Structure 1
Amino acid sequence: MFDNDNLTALEAQRQATFICYAPMIFQSVKTMLNLGIMDILKKAGDEGTTIDEISEETGVWKYGVRVLLQSALGAGVVYQKDEKFKLTKTGVFLISKQLAAQIHINFVNDVCYNGMFYLEDSIKNKNAEGLKVLGDWDTIYDGLSELSPDVKKSWLDLDHYFSDVSYDAAFEILSKENFTNILDLGGNTGKFCRYLIQKMPDIQFTIGDLPGQIGMARKEMAASGLDTSNIHYQTLNILNEDSEPEGKFDIIWMSQFLDCFHEDDITSILKKCKKALAENGRIFVQDAFWDRQRFETGAFSLQQFSLYFTAMANGRSQMYDFPTFKEAVEKAGLEIIEIHDHIGRSNSLLKIK
C-alpha cells in the first residue's frame, strides 16, 4: 500500500489536475446534493435524464444545472449518453447509505472547509489556526458543546459513524474480561456508556471528559430513560498537569480519543491511566491506524482526516500510523498485548498492560 508510483504520465497529469480543482469539484457535488439534482439522477437510474428535465423538476435554471453536470462529468460523478445524464458508480457511492458519503461531505463542509485555508499557518505555528472560523477556543474539544447546531451535528455524525458500528465487536472482546468497573476517558456524549450498561447493568461506569462534554453526556443520559444509579462522572482536562482520573479502575477505555493528541501527550495520558489502574487492570484503546486498514480507500480517508486535527482541532494530532502510536505506548512503560483489527469500519482495538 502506497509503495509504488505506477501511474502513466497521462494518468498522473489527470490526477494532478484533479487535485488543483478539487475544492471546486467538492462544492459542485455538495451543491448538486443540496439542490436535489443527485436525487433526480438516482431516481432516473439507467434511463438517465436531461438538463431540461432536471431544471424543470428542481426549479434550478438551465445554466446552473448545465455547469454543475459538466463539472460532474469531468469529475467522474456522472456520464452522458446522447442528451441524458446518468450517475456513475462514483456518483452512486456519493449518495449511498453504504458509504454514508454525505456524512463525510457534511463534516468537511461544515467543520473543515473554511478553516483549511489556514492549514499552512497551522503547520508553521504549531496551532489549529483554522479553528477561529468556528469560535474562540484553544481546541475544538473545548468548544464542542458550543458549536452551532449544524456544525455540532456534522461533527457528531462522523464521530458516531465510525464508533457506533464497532460497539458489538468491541463488546464481544470486553465481555471476556473480568471487571466490575470501567472508566471511559473521553466519553463524549456517553453513547458507549448507554450501550454497555444495557449489556452489563451491574458494572460501575465512569465517564471522564471536559466540562462541556460531561454536560452533554448528562443530558443524553437523562433523556435515555436508563437506570443511571451505576453511572458516575469525572470532569477533567487530562492535558492539565494536575488533572488525573480519581480512583482505581479494572478497565480504562478510550475510543477514538488518543488520536486527538500529539504522541508526547499520548505518553503523558497513558502514564496517568497507568496510575489509575487497579491491580491487574488493563487499558483498551480503540482507534483507527491508516497502515492497518484493509483497503487503500480507508487508509486514504484517514490520511486526509489528519489535516482536520492540524488545522481545526488542536494543531498537533493525527490519525496515526501504528509504529508511531506503539512507540508512544512503550514510552509510558506499557505494552500492547493484544491487537484486534477491522473492528467496525476502520478501528483496531488494543489491549494494553
Structure 2
Amino acid sequence: MLETKKFSPPRQRAFDARFEAQKIAFGPVVFHCVRYAWKRGMLEALAETGDRGATMDELEAMGRWSRYALKLVLESCLSAGVVLIEDGRWQLDKTGFCLISDDITRINFDFVHDVCYQGLFELERSLDAGKPLGLSHLGDWTSIYPALSQLPEPARSSWFAFDHHYSDTSFPDILPDVFATVPRRVMDIGANTGKFSRAALAHDALVELHLVDLPPQLGLAEANLTQAGLRDRAHFHPRDLLDPDVPLPADMDLVWMSQFLSCFGEEQIASIFRRVRAALSPTGQVLVMDTFWDRQRYDIAAYCLINTSPYFTAMASGNSKVYESADYIRLAEAAGLRLQTVRDGIGYCHSLMRLVQA
C-alpha cells in the first residue's frame, strides 16, 4: 500500500468552532480589507515603523489614506491577526509580514483575487453544470487553457506567476530522474511555455523533445526555445487532448506530464493514459509530476492544494481538481501502466511518479 499523509486540522472545542465558522462567513470581507491594506501600502508603512508602530494620527498625517479608510481596513486586519495594536500604536504582526515578504503568500493572494474571485461566485452553477461558468468574468471561452495567452491583465500575469512559481522550483531537482534511463525521444505533454522542454534540451545535447499542447501554448514555447537556441531539437505537435480519438506521437522513450492531468476529469485522464501507453516504445516509461494533497508533509500545503480545486471547477474546466495520488494510480493501472516508484518533497509540494508498462 502506498503510504500517504493525513490532513489533520486540530480538533476544536465548541466555542472555538463557532469562532472558526464566523471566520468562514466573513472570509470574503476580510480578504478584501487585507488586500486593500497590502496593495495600498498600509502594511508596508507599518513595517517601516518597526516595533515602534504608529498611531492613527501619524498614519493619517502621511496623507495617503483617509482616517475612515485607515480605521475600517486596519480593524479588519486586526481581527485577522495581520496587525496588532498596543497602547494606541498600530504594528505589523507576523501574518502581515508574510503578506509583504513571502512569495507564495503574495502569489496565492494575487491568483485568488485576479483569476478566481469573481468567477467563484458561479461555483454552485459550475458544479451543477460540470462547466467553468465563472470563466465568463474573464472572457468568452469554454475553458481557460486555450485562452491563457489571451487572458486580460492582471489575470494573465497572476495565472502564469502562480503556475511557474510552483513548477519552476521543481525542474532542477527532477532532471536526473528524467534522464535516469537515458531517453533519446521525450514527449512533453502539456508543454505550456516550454519551461521543462528548455531545461531538458539544455541538460542533454542528444535528446529530442516532442512538445504536445494547444496551438497558442506551442507558439509561446517555440518562441522561447528559439530564443534559447534550442529550436532544432524540438518538435511541435498541436493537439486537443479533450478529443479521445486524437493520437499522440509514437515510439517515445519517456513521456513527461507535469501539473497537466489535474486539468482534466477522471474520464479524460483515463483516455490520456491509454494514449500515452500506446505512444511508448517497448521499454518506454512515464513520469508524472503533480501536486497531490494527500502526499504533503505539512497541513499548510494540503490546505492550499485542496482549496485550489474550486478554481478548476469554476474557471478552468468544470470537472477537474487537485487529486489524491491513488486516483492517478488507479486510472494508470486501468490503461496498462504500473507504478514503479514515487518520490515526494520535490520543490514546494510536488511528487514524482514513475510508471512502467504492466
TM-score, normalised with respect to structure 2:
0.94
Q: 1:270 to 1:125 in 2, by over 3 A?
A: same
Could you tell me which of 129, 132, 150 is aligned with 2:154?
A: 150
Q: 2-side partners of 1:286 and 1:49: how far apart?
A: 47
Q: 1:79-158 to 2 correspondence within 5 Å?
A: 79-97=84-102, 99-158=103-162
Give the letter for the 1:16 counterpart.
Answer: A
Matched, 1:42 2:47: yes
- Report the Cα offset of residue 45 of structure 1: 2.2
Q: Deviations over 1:15-73 (max 9, x none)?
A: 10000010011111111111011111222222222223333336111110111100000
Give the letter for the 2:99 counterpart.
Answer: L
Could you tell me which of 77, 93, 97 is aligned with 2:82?
A: 77
Report if aligned partners of 2:135, 2:314 keep a CA contact under 8 Å in 1.
yes
State the match for 1:173 in structure 2: 177
State the match for 2:3 in structure 1: none
State the identity as a percent: 35
User: Which consecutive residues of structure 2, in runs of 5 or more, have no partner in the other structure?
Assistant: 1-5
Residue range with higher mean Cα deviation, 166-175 or 156-165 = 166-175
State the match for 1:32 in structure 2: 37
Matched, 1:294 2:276: no
RMSD (CA atoms): 1.4
Report if aligned partners of 2:184, 2:208 keep a CA contact under 8 Å in 1.
yes
Q: 1:124-273 to 2 correspondence within 5 Å?
A: 124-222=128-226, 224-273=227-276
Aligned pair count reads 351
Give the letter for the 2:72 counterpart.
Answer: V
Q: 1-side partners of 2:223 and 2:183: how far apart?
A: 27
Q: 2-side partners of 1:112 and 1:169: how far apart?
A: 30
SS in 2 for 1:177: coil
Q: 1:34 to 1:296 in 2, by over 3 A?
A: same
Report if aligned partners of 1:36, 1:58 keep a CA contact under 8 Å in 2.
no
Give the letter for the 1:350 counterpart.
Answer: M
Report if aligned partners of 2:60, 2:67 keep a CA contact under 8 Å in 1.
yes
User: Which consecutive residues of structure 1, in runs of 5 or more, have no partner in the other structure?
Assistant: none
SS in 1 for 2:30: helix
Q: 1:205 to 1:75 in 2, by over 3 A?
A: same
Q: 2-side partners of 1:226 and 1:10: how far apart?
A: 62
Moved over 6 A (4+): none
State the match for 1:19 in structure 2: 24
Q: 1-side partners of 2:112 and 2:167: how far apart?
A: 18
Q: 1-side partners of 2:350 and 2:158: how far apart?
A: 20
Q: 1-side partners of 2:224 and 2:9: how far apart?
A: 48
Q: 2-side partners of 1:254 and 1:55: how far apart?
A: 52
TM-score, normalised with respect to structure 1:
0.96
Q: 1:298-309 to 2 correspondence within 5 Å?
A: 298-309=301-312
Q: 2-side partners of 1:114 and 1:168: how far apart?
A: 35
- Report the Cα offset of residue 184 of structure 1: 0.5
- Report the Cα offset of residue 172 of structure 1: 2.5
